[in-house]
Amino acid sequence: MNNTDNANLAALLLRVSMGILFLAHAGLKIFIFTPAGTVGFFESLGFPGPLAYLVIAAELLGGLALLAGVWTRWVSIGLIPVLLGSIYAPHGAAGFFFSNPNGGWEFPAFWAIALASLALLGNGAYALQKARG
C-alpha cells in the first residue's frame, strides 16, 4: 500500500463513520425527541426555535452526502458550526469530559476536528464524486 491508498482508505473510513453518526443524530432528533421537541430544546437553550430544523436538515443531508462521498470538503466545513454550536450550548457548561452530567464538550470538539481533517482529505477515491486532480 502506498500513501495515496492509505489516504483514500482514511477518507473512506472517516467519511462513512461520520456520515453514520450524523444520520444517527438526525434520527434521534426526528424519531425520539421529535422535531417539535427539538425546537423546544433549542429554545430552552436560548437559540431560535427554527434553528432546530436547520440543524436536523444539515445533519440528515450532510450525513447522506458524507456517506456517498459527494461534496465532502464543503459538507465537512458546513457541519463544523453545528458542532461548535453544540459546544456553546448545552455541552460547554458541562465541562470538558463527555462523561460529565449533561455531557461535556470533549466529543463535539473532537468531532469538529475530525470534520476539519475530512475537509482536508476530501472525498477520496472510494466516493460517488471522484476527486479532481
Predicted local confidence at residue 51, as pLDDT: 98
Predicted local confidence at residue 3, as pLDDT: 84
- Of all residues in the chain, the percent with pLDDT exceeding 70 is 98
Q: Count how many Cα atoms sit within 13 Å of the Cα of residue 44 in the half-sphere of its side chain.
A: 7
CB contact at 8 A, 72 and 19: no
Distance between CA atoms of 100 and 79, rounded to whole angstroms?
24
Low-confidence ranges of the chain (pLDDT < 70): 131-133
C-alpha grid cell for residue 14?
Answer: 472517516
Predicted local confidence at residue 133, as pLDDT: 42
Alpha helical stretches, state H, the chain: 3-27, 35-44, 51-68, 72-86, 106-121
Instruction: Taking each helix axis as running N to C, give the angle between helix 3-27 and helix 51-68, from 0 to 180 degrees, rounded to the nearest 10.
Output: 150
Question: What are the pLDDT digits (tens) for 100-116?
Answer: 998 999 999 999 999 99
CB contact at 8 A, 87 and 45: no
Distance between CA atoms of 49 and 37, rounded to whole angstroms?
10
